[in-house]
Amino acid sequence: MSSNRVSRAQLLLVMLLLVVLQFYVRPRLWDARISPDFLLIALMLFAMRSSPGVAALAGFAVGLIADTLTPARFGAGALAHTLVGYLASWGRAVFFADNMLVNAGFVAAGLWLRDFIVLMASGTNHRQMLTELTLYSPLQALTTAGFALIVLITFRSMFSVRLDA
């Protein structure tokens, strides 16, 4: 078995760990509106190492999960995550994405953009949207980016792999 395949398997294990964290640990944390979004971290880290099409597909899958499990408007999450995944994959080519802080910044920006698209697509009123986008989304982006940084530092060797190579 080549080292690249081992790294990919390890990366998938990290993704699986993030999924477990999302559904088993996140409900036990503090306020759900500002606690880290582990699924988005997984999507962003995956998208930045994948081709845009695969990233969009991963985004669609994550969005579908979000739409199925949250009582928001069906399809809004899928649309938002598809766009975010696709843009994250393209963004890797524009920015110097191997830097961990840039990765964390990508995660924060992706979360805010995801929230913006979901709120727009769900038809939220302006007052609530303003509160969400200026208060809760930045806070959640901060915590999510912080945790993404921890993941990147902990599994540094695994995230050096390029999945689309």
Partner 1 sequence: MISTSDRRYTRRDTLLFLLCLGLSLFGLFSPVTWAHGVADTLRGTVLSPLVWLQARAEEGRTSRVRFRQVTSQRDSTAYLSQFLPSLRAENERLRQLLRLSRRLNSGYVSAEVLHQPQAMDGRTLLLSAGSRQGVAVFNPVVAPEGLIGMVSSVSGKSSVAMSWAHPEFRVSAFTVSGNAFGVVAPSNEGRNGEGALEFRGVPYRDSVPLGTLVLSSGLGGVFPKGIPVGTVIGTVREEAGWERVYRLRPAANPGSAAHVLVLVGTPQGRDLAGAFPSDSLLEAGRLDSIARLRRADSVVQAARAARAARRDSLTRASPIQGGAPTSPIQGGTSSGPAPALKDSAP
**Residue of 76, 85, 89 whose CA lies nearest to 116:** 76
Residue number, 24 or 134, with CB nearest to partner 1: 24
Contact characters 37-66, partner 1, x per CB under 8 A: --------------xxxx-xx-xx--xxx-
Nearest to 64 by CA among 46, 94, 43: 43
* 67: helix, strand or coil: helix
User: Residue 17, interface with partner 1 (CB under 8 A)?
Assistant: no
> From the list 5, 13, 23, 154, which residue makes contact with partner 1 (rule: CB under 8 A)?
23
Size of the site for partner 1 (CB under 8 A): 32
User: Judged by CB under 8 A, does residue 27 bind partner 1?
Assistant: yes
Q: Which segment (22-30, 91-99, 131-139, 148-156) binds partner 1 by CB under 8 A?
A: 22-30
Question: Which residues, 120 to 149, sit near partner 1 by CB under 8 A?
Answer: 121
Close Cβ partners of 1 (under 8 Å, ≥ 6 residues apart): none
Q: Which long-range contacts (CB under 8 A, 24 or more apart) does 121-129 make?
A: 121/73, 121/75, 121/76, 121/79, 121/80, 122/72, 122/73, 122/76, 123/73
Question: Shortest CA distance to 152 belongs to which of 19, 23, 14, 37?
Answer: 14
Q: Residue 90 Cβ, how far from partner 1 at the closest point, in Å?
A: 9
Stretch 77-106 residues interacting with partner 1 (CB under 8 A)? 78-79, 82-83, 86
Selected from 4, 5, 6, 68, the binder of partner 1 by CB under 8 A is 68
Burial per residue of 68-81, b for 16 or more beta-carbon CB atoms within 10 angstroms, e otherwise: eeeeeeeebbbbbb
Which residues lie near partner 1 (CB under 8 A)?
19-20, 23-28, 51-54, 56-57, 59-60, 63-65, 67-69, 73-76, 78-79, 82-83, 86, 121
